[in-house]
Structure 1
Amino acid sequence: MPPTSPPYPGSAGRPDWSALPARLRGALADRLGAPVVAARTAPAGFTRGFAAVLTTADGGRAFVKAATAGQPQLVTWYAREAAILDRLPPGLPVPRLRWTLDEADWYALCLDAVDGRPPRLPWVPAELSAALTGYADLAAALAGPPAGLVALDLPHLADLAREDILWWGEVHAGREPLPALPARVRHRLPELVALESRLPGYAAAAAGLIHGDLRPDNVLIDADGRAWFCDWTWLCRGPAWFDLVTLLLGGYADGLDADAIFTGHPVAAGAPPDALDVTLAALAGYFLTTAAAAPATASAQLPAHQRWSGEQALGWLARRQGWT
């Protein structure tokens, strides 16, 4: 049986503050305006980049991410996130970008530190409600993309699906190995291919922007119970109900009535009747097929996360389809 909670806490393999080059630490302290006296490394996430809340001698706090030139993919991701954060509409529950820095062959970005923590899993009702309400407001704000974000030439989920998300067709054609599947779904490849193949068409009809990686560990709940949304590297054009599925996937195994929550959420209004099934099929194929191909920039826990997510998506879909 798969675990009933995703492997989020402690999933990252990040360097500590003391492991950063002295020149970089000095440059960061200079930009922060005071010496760094404490650093709390972020335990979650699936990259090996530096990420920590830094506290300075004058009582200031900031969240800093950094990657070395030896991690070029991470540098690109962090630079993309900085560009996106700089252009998001003001007033959203998103940590504010303060500045970026190139020093000692490292690239760093500094954000406001949110005084919060990831939501507890299984979901606590109040925290789930905060995340769902916050995402409804966020999606509404991004339904009409601001000009600054449009200028970034962001990718479209429809294209990302064709290029990287849809894998059941490759498996069915024999171009990819069949991942380990429960007996009840081993003969369902034709149905899985048919379902996932609808995602590009559904996504192409969307004009708004979505987070693109809305897992529970990319949400923080602050002291007032408000949800904040972090890690904006994968912003893209697409339907907001896709984000909603990935958010709910983290709590599905814990008995969450995810079907009813999805159907009743504002971003699902007007979605195709089978949008949830199409998304679950696509996610199941993506996660299960790519679990064995984690990039060098990823933490050692990424394959377990991919397998867990794929199993949850496939189990949720199988229940909805009545596959026994």
Structure 2
Amino acid sequence: MTATAPPARGVRHHWADLPAAVRRGVEDILGAPVVEARTQHGGFSPGVAARVRLANGGRAFVKAVSADVNADSPDMHRAEIRLTAALPAHAPVPRLLGSYDDGTCVALVLQDIEGRQPRVPWSRNELDRVLEALQDLAGVLTPAPAGAPVADGGKSTMFTGWRTLCAAGDTTGLDPWAARRLGVLAELESGWARAAEGDTLVHGDLRADNILLTEDRVVFVDWPHAVRARPWFDLLAMLPCVAAQGFASGQAPDPEALFTAHPLGRDADPGAVTAVLAAMAGYFAQHALRPAPPGLPTLRAFQAAQGAAALDWLRRRLGERAG
């Protein structure tokens, strides 16, 4: 049975917790003092994530983190700065207003979006809105902006889960079906890079907490993991999370049916899809066994739920039963 994903939450700090120099740097970008800051709690990034209101009536969204909070997060913010700055102006993403980097603390200053994350468990209506918008997003971001990393470069150290576990020879904590097939899964995973090769800029980490619904559009946020890949990559990456979070109706989402019915998925090469799905399942399975990183207490349980859903989907694509 697929595990239920816990809330996607990092440990948040508040605007007032930032060093004065960082706050001044952000206010210099915005051209006015911050008079109100509301911390936002959804999503995995640790540190500050706040909607701010300015003395001149303006608004913005500020993300900031230091290496003291999480050693990896500043570089992720730097990647997001580079990638967001390269996105076309008409893409359904928040505009980058500026950034701050003193070598220790990194901050992004983004357009504030009046919207909310999709409710989870999902409603079918909201999922349909997101799936339709995902097709439009792929169209806007094909071809990918110059300089965007290729999938093999951006994910090469991530999508080695089954091969890493196979080399270690330790199946402790693994799903029994996967434990008996580690060699097969490792071989299948090894072909993911060629299978994913394409010229669409994909988000690379699409979940409900990286999506905002406004009255008239769907906005995709948090872009540090964006890479060039096949246009169906984000659809494939998102559906195990949808399956783990479920529908509010209690009906279990079927990722295979959702994928093959979607315009981005229906004509995708089946072998390529299976190879990339295997790599994603291996990533989640291997990372879920690691200790929780600083500031991200629910991440490993969330990855375990995504991994269980991805593995169940993969098993069914391979025509095998659980057990």
Question: How many Å apart are 1:104 and its aligned residue?
Answer: 9.4
Cα offset for 1:155?
2.8
What is the letter of the counterpart of residue 242 of structure 1?
Answer: F
Deviation at 1:32, TM superposition (A): 2.7
Matching residue's letter, 1:94: V
Give yes or no for contact 2:29–2:99 (8 Å, CA) kept in 1. no
Contact 2:48 2:63 in 1 (8 A): yes
* SS of residue in 2 equivalent to 1:267: coil
What SS does the aligned partner of 2:157 have?
helix
Q: How many angstroms does 1:86 deviate by?
A: 1.5
1:313 is displaced (CA, Å) by 1.0
Pairwise CA distance, 1:69: 5.3
Q: How does 1:128-277 map onto structure 2 within 5 Å? A: 128-146=127-145, 150=146, 152=147, 154-173=148-167, 175=168, 177-204=170-197, 206-224=198-216, 226-253=217-244, 254=246, 255-277=252-274
SS of equivalent to 2:306: helix
8 Å contact 1:185–1:323 — kept in the other structure?
no
| Percentage of pairs with the same residue | 38
The amino acid of 1:235's aligned partner reads A
Which residue in the other structure is 2:282 paired with? 285
Aligned to 2:301: 304
Structure-2 separation of matches of 1:164 and 1:25: 34
Deviation at 1:179, TM superposition (A): 4.6
In the TM superposition, what is the alpha-carbon distance from 1:35 to its structure 2 partner? 3.2
TM-score (norm 2): 0.87
Structure 1 residues 158-183: Cα deviation after superposition (integer angstroms, max 9, x where no partner) = 3455433122123223x253252334
Contact 2:12 2:46 in 1 (8 A): yes
- Give deviations 1:51-74, integer Å, cap 9, x for gaps: 111122343221011123545632
Task: Kindly state the Cα deviation for residue 29 of structure 1 after the two structures are TM-superposed.
Answer: 3.2
* Letter aligned with residue 206 of structure 2: L
Structure 1, 188-197 or 256-265: larger mean CA deviation: 188-197
Unaligned runs of 5+ in 2: 247-251
Distance, in Å, in 2 between the alignment partners of 1:237 and 1:164 is: 15
Residue 45 to residue 294, structure 1, CA distance change in 2 (3 Å) = farther
Q: Does 1:61 find its partner at 2:59? A: yes
1:315 aligned counterpart, secondary structure: helix
* RMSD, matched Cα: 2.4
- 8 A contact 2:212–2:220 mirrored in 1: yes
TM-score, with structure 1 as normaliser: 0.87
Q: CA deviation at 1:270?
A: 3.8
Structure 2 vs 1, CA of residues 144 and 72 (structure 1 numbering), >3 Å: closer, same or farther? same
User: 1 CA distance for matches of 2:25 and 2:48?
Assistant: 15
Moved more, 49-58 or 157-166: 157-166
Query: Greater shift after overlay, 230-239 or 195-204?
Result: 195-204
Quick one: distance in 2 between partners of 1:298 and 1:157? 27
Taking structure 1 as reference, are residues 7 and 132 closer, same or farther at Cα in structure 2, changes over 3 Å only?
same
Alignment of 1:9-88 (within 5 A): 9=8, 11-68=9-66, 70=68, 73-88=72-87
CA displacement at 1:94 relative to structure 2: 0.3
Aligned length: 314
Unaligned runs of 5+ in 1: none
Instruction: Please tell me whether residue 107 in structure 1 is matched to residue 106 in structure 2.
Output: yes
